[in-house]
A and B are shown apart, each in its own frame.
Chain A
Amino acid sequence: MKFAVVTFPGSNCDDDCYEVVKEVLGQEIRFLWHKDRDLKGIDCVILPGGFSYGDYLRTGAVARFSPIMEVIIEYAQRGGLVLGICNGFQILLEAGLLPGAMLRNSFLSFICRDVFVRVETKETPFTRRCEPQQVLKLPIAHMDGHYFADPEILRRLEGEGQVVFRYCTARGDLSEEANPNGSLSHIAGICNSKRNVLGLMPHPERASEACLGGEDGRLIFESLLAGKNGLS
């Protein structure tokens, strides 16, 4: 399977994504520069974490107008697989590929620690290797991860099963204490209605090798491979 990861000015998790796809999954991956206008025949594009354009104005607001985003929007609309992690999720929201918006964390602090998220649906190309309601331990590192959507969008997300991950306790229970940033309905990740675009705040690429303290994140990457090889 051929992957690409986009580097925007200020991206800082692009190398981590590259490493996981190439060394852990043993798949092809290339870097794309934000000024590129060609996806070069890839099967999945990753928008990595970081602080694209210094998070100026709003997170993801400027990156969303990079030349590469024009082709990514077109690619996503054709059904291409797009994975947005952290700042990548914020860019997908600003680009309108996913509904809703990000607000500052409720307690106004940058949060960098492991959290638990519950897999709400395995009916996506990104979670098909997970068990239903499986609890994953993944790191978060963000200042603006408080997911917001108006009641109608939220109703649609819940109704169509587009909420993919929710913050939870180690046992998989939802509680205010287990919601690190105040996200609406404990949302940590959502997909679009066609289910080919996923955005999530936790960093699966930072938890894909035991030597980094966890391997739960690898399930997301392996799910993508499972689809490609017809294993699902």
Chain B
Amino acid sequence: MTRAKVYITYKAGVVDPQGVTIRGALVSLGFQEVQEVRMGKFIELELEGSSSDQLRSRLQSMCERLLANPIIEDFRFELDGEAAGAPGVKE
């Protein structure tokens, strides 16, 4: 089994009213250093098989077809101990 972590974030230029609201709350709590907050989604999956190019390519496809909406969102993922790659880029 391989554990995958998928991070989904709004693209630059897409307004994120939740992020704006959270920033406002942080600033009102005295955290004036907060310049911007962007909220996203985090999804964990348990995948059959060991980490491989094929598994990465399957996960890429899951993100493109369902987990993220490419019109408004970017995604990146990591398998087990790997560090997350660039958004949506298959290595």
In the complex, which range does the number of interface residues on chain A fall in?
Answer: 10 to 19
CA distance A61 to B69 in the complex (A): 9
Q: Is the interface of B mostly helix, strand, loop or mixed?
A: loop
Q: Is A141 an interface residue (CB 8 A)?
A: no
Are B21 and A100 neighbours in the complex by a CB distance under 8 Å? no
B67: A residues at CB distance < 8 A: 57
Binary A-proximity of B37-64 (CB < 8 A = 1, otherwise 0) = 0000000000000000000000000000
CA distance A105 to B71 in the complex (A): 17
Q: Is A205 an interface residue (CB 8 A)?
A: no
Residue of A nearest to B67 (CB): A57
Are B66 and A61 neighbours in the complex by a CB distance under 8 Å? yes
Are A108 and B72 neighbours in the complex by a CB distance under 8 Å? no
Are A103 and B15 neighbours in the complex by a CB distance under 8 Å? yes
A91-138 residues at the B interface, CB under 8 angstroms: 94, 100-101, 103-108
Are A106 and B69 neighbours in the complex by a CB distance under 8 Å? no
Residue of B nearest to A150 (CB): B71
B14: A residues at CB distance < 8 A: 103, 148
A148: B residues at CB distance < 8 A: 14-15, 71-72
A103: B residues at CB distance < 8 A: 14-15, 17, 72
Total number of B residues with any Cβ neighbor in A under 8 Å: 11
B13: A residues at CB distance < 8 A: 150
Which of B13, B15, B21 gathers the greatest number of chain A CB atoms within 10 Å? B15
Q: Is A149 an interface residue (CB 8 A)?
A: yes
Q: Is the interface of A mostly helix, strand, loop or mixed?
A: loop
Are A101 and B69 neighbours in the complex by a CB distance under 8 Å? yes
| A142 CB → nearest B CB, Å | 14
Binary B-proximity of A35-71 (CB < 8 A = 1, otherwise 0) = 0000000000000000000000110011001000000
A126-166 residues at the B interface, CB under 8 angstroms: 146, 148-150
One of A57, A146, A150 near B66 (C-beta < 8 A): A57
Are A149 and B71 neighbours in the complex by a CB distance under 8 Å? yes
B interface residue numbers (CB < 8 A to A): 13-15, 17-18, 21, 66-67, 69, 71-72
* Shortest Cβ-Cβ A-B pairs, 8 listed: A101-B71, A101-B72, A106-B17, A108-B17, A101-B69, A58-B69, A104-B17, A148-B72
Instruction: List 21 interface pairs A-B (beta carbons < 8 Å), by A numbering.
Output: A61-B66, A100-B71, A101-B69, A101-B71, A101-B72, A103-B14, A103-B15, A103-B17, A104-B17, A105-B17, A106-B15, A106-B17, A108-B17, A108-B18, A108-B21, A146-B15, A148-B14, A148-B15, A149-B71, A150-B13, A150-B71
